[in-house]
């Protein structure tokens, strides 16, 4: 689908607010399915993915589609287990699909970053508090991670690279026999999926082959717990979020200027400089850390670029501007990094937002894109890149003057 209509995008600057809104609306409307969510891509990704849908909530709100925002978030919790575990995929359109792969109907047996805490908070801030059952489901999902996924370090462990969303990140390279190779890593991911240990409710609790507590994932757990606690008044959740943020703060490496992972990769690939590892700034404002992160995000020899922040630091040997999770710009990470930076440097946040919007537009609202050319990569268009509209209006300063607060 050509979301732009005749002519398409191009690396020529920012679209007008009207152009961007029209393109994002066409995309999400085309991806909406009767079961109540926007498929990330109509053919490549027809199912509901957890963190995708949470980002869609923000885009629907920006489009003024409150009913769809509320419904998509509610549907995401459809396959939630009694333990609070929230599958990263919801097969509501065909509940038996991939049952042989996951060993359960309706959803997968792994999760994803719990962006539902932020989605709930954004709905509440916009004056549209979700139903009590959605608030309870979001709380239970975070409690599952905080109570049942604890690593001895105090951080939260993941059971598979897929749970982080960044499944080919160079942070996992030590887990690929012989060093990273796409085919070997694909086979390794399949093997790791079969090793996930489950509890009485058949929910993923640990993985002896991948006992990692990633910095980026933990930053998002703490951030979402804080966001949810802020609107529900859950004191226990707020305290646990602060404790988790404290454990993450211990993982700051001043020499590298990033937060590092815990687990068998801690002294190796778990220290590779990646954009998702900089999400620690969402919850850790230790002295000097914001300045280091901002410098890297703007520096063209680090993460800086004309069309958004690179997914991997340019000085890392693993950096590849065209390879999946090895260097391209990812719009959902750019959105989160802009949020993290905004409280420390509004000017830097605006710069990051504008460059990311330019990249999203040039790419055709792609899943991810080349950080230097804006060439679209992955699925095109992909619904979460509608976040460009949020970035444009909130931080890039492109909202029409009559609509600015």
Domain-by-domain residue ranges, the chain?
18-398
Q: Which two tokens stand for residue 47?
A: 């199912």
pLDDT value at position 102?
87
Percent of the chain at pLDDT exceeding 70: 95
Residue 116 pLDDT greater than 80, yes or no:
yes
Lowest mean pLDDT, pick from 10-14, 36-40, 240-244: 10-14
Tell me the helices (H) and strands (E) count for the chain, helix number first. 14, 10
End-to-end Cα, the chain, rounded Å: 34
Residue 282 has what DSSP assignment?
G
Average pLDDT of span 218-240 = 98
Cα distance between residue 330 and residue 359, in whole Å: 10
**Mean pLDDT for all residues in the chain:** 94
pLDDT value at position 1?
55
pLDDT value at position 354?
97
Lowest mean pLDDT, pick from 15-19, 93-97, 201-205: 201-205
What fold does the segment set 18-398 form as a domain? Glycosyltransferase (1.50.10)
Average pLDDT of span 194-201 = 87
Q: Which two tokens stand for residue 55?
A: 């980002």
Residue 398 pLDDT greater than 80, yes or no:
no
Cα distance between residue 277 and residue 268, in whole Å: 14
Cα distance between residue 281 and residue 345, in whole Å: 12
Q: Using alpha carbons, select from 55, 111, 60, 66 the residue that is nearest to residue 86.
A: 111
Cα distance between residue 282 and residue 337, in whole Å: 8
Average pLDDT of span 380-404 = 82
């Amino acid at each position: 689908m050509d979301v732009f209509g005749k002519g398409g995008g191009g690396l020529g600057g920012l679209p007008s607010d009207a152009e961007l809104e029209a393109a994002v609306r066409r995309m999400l409307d085309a991806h909406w399915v009767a079961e109540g969510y926007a498929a990330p891509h109509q053919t490549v990704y027809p199912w509901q993915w957890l963190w995708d849908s949470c980002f869609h909530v923000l885009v629907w709100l920006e489009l003024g589609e409150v009913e769809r925002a509320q419904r998509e978030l509610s549907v995401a919790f459809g396959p939630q287990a009694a333990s609070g575990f929230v599958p990263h995929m919801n097969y509501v359109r065909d509940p038996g699909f991939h049952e042989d792969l996951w060993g359960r109907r309706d959803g997968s047996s792994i999760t994803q970053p719990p962006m539902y805490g932020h989605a709930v908070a954004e709905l509440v801030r916009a004056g549209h508090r979700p139903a009590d059952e959605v608030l309870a489901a979001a709380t239970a999902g975070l409690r599952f991670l905080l109570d049942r996924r604890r690593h001895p370090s105090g951080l939260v462990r993941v059971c598979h690279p897929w749970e982080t969303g960044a499944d080919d990140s160079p942070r996992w390279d030590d887990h690929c026999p012989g060093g990273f190779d796409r085919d070997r890593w694909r086979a390794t991911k399949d093997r790791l999926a079969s090793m996930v240990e489950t509890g009485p409710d058949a929910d993923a609790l640990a993985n002896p082959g991948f006992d990692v507590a990633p910095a980026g994932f933990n930053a998002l757990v703490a951030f979402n717990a804080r966001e949810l606690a802020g609107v529900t008044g859950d004191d226990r959740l707020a305290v646990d979020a602060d404790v988790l943020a404290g454990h993450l703060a211990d993982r700051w490496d001043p020499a590298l200027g990033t937060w590092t992972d815990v687990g068998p990769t801690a002294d190796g690939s778990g220290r590779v400089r990646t954009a998702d590892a900089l999400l620690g700034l969402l919850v850790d404002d230790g002295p000097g850390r914001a300045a280091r992160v901002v410098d890297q995000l703007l520096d063209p020899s680090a993460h800086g670029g004309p069309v958004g922040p690179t997914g991997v630091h340019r000085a890392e040997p693993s950096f590849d501007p065209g390879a999946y999770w090895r260097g391209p710009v990812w719009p959902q990470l750019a959105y989160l990094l802009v949020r993290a930076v905004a409280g420390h440097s509004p000017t830097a946040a605006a710069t990051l937002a504008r460059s990311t919007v330019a990249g999203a537009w040039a790419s055709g609202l792609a899943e991810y894109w080349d950080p230097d050319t804006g060439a679209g990569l992955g699925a095109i268009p992909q619904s979460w890149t509608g976040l460009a509209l949020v970035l444009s209006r909130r931080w890039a300063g492109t909202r029409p003057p009559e609509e600015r607060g």
